[in-house]
Structure 1
Amino acid sequence: MALKVELKPKERIIIGQVVIRNDEQRTRFFIEGDAPILREKDILTAASADTPAKKIYLAIQLMYLAQDPTHEHETYFQLVREFINAAPSALPHVHEINNRILSDDLYKALKAARKLIAYEAELIENAKRV
């Protein structure tokens, strides 16, 4: 079964190793086959990875899009160690991400990393109040 994708004007999508940018009008197309796909709203650039949790998300994103995700494992685990040392309360979120990575479900690992980013934002907000 094909995946139906609708792109807004000027919206980008990554399919495999290729970035596709839509033209001026809304477009619908169908993707058949197996390739990693990320819509623009889910893409994080190196420049926008400005917090530790976002850097973890970026490492997972690179794993998801890579032909060999193991190249990013060392970076990912170093970032996670540093994050847990700074915020041990984030361990349940990291466990969820790790379980997704170990079960080779990198797309769901990305979704779990979004929760980690939200949790990090809560921690920062709480720290500002104190």
Structure 2
Amino acid sequence: MALKVELKPGEKLLVGNCIITNSDQRTRLFIEGRAPILREKDILTAASANTPAKRIYLAVQLMYIDDDVEKTRDAYFSLVNDFLAAVPSSAEIVNQINNEILTGQLYKALKAANRLIEYEQDLLSNASARRPGLSADGESR
């Protein structure tokens, strides 16, 4: 069964190691085969990985795109161990990411890593709400 992807005008899509850019009209693609596929909104760059959870997501993203866990494994586990030491309450999400990686479900691991980013953002938002004068990113206002 083919994967159906609808792209907005100008939207980008990663298929394998190729970036596809849509023209000025909405487009529907049907993709068959086995290749990593990510929408532009789901692609994180090294420059935009500016929080610990985003760096974990980036590591999982590299595993997914390269279809190679071993290349990024050590960096991933270093990031995860640091994150768990700082945020032990994230263990359930981290365990889910780890399980998906161990079973070769790298796209599902990426989705779980996205939930970790959301969890981190919620924690930062709640912390800044309790500390007047700080924004959600911890900067003074």
TM bracket (short chain): over 0.9
What's 1:76 paired with?
Answer: 76
After superposition, residues 81-100 of structure 1 pair within 5 angstroms as 81-100=81-100
What's 2:104 paired with?
Answer: 104
Deviations 1:72-99 (A, max 9, x none): 1111101001101111111111011101
- Structure 1 stretches of 5 or more lacking a match? none
Deviation at 1:69, TM superposition (A): 2.6
Paired letter, 1:33: G
Q: Aligned equivalents of 2:33 and 2:58: distance in 1?
A: 25
Task: Note the aligned Cα RMSD (angstroms).
Answer: 1.1
Deviations 1:9-65 (A, max 9, x none): 110010111111111111222212111111112111111111000010010001000
Return the TM-score normalized by structure 1. 0.94
Deviation at 1:67, TM superposition (A): 3.7
Larger Rg: 2
Q: Aligned equivalents of 1:84 and 1:68: distance in 2?
A: 24
Paired letter, 1:15: V
Flag the 1:21–1:72 CA change in 2: closer, same or farther, 3 A. Answer: same
- Structure 2 stretches of 5 or more lacking a match? 132-141
Paired letter, 1:91: A
Displacement over 2 Å in runs of 4+:
none
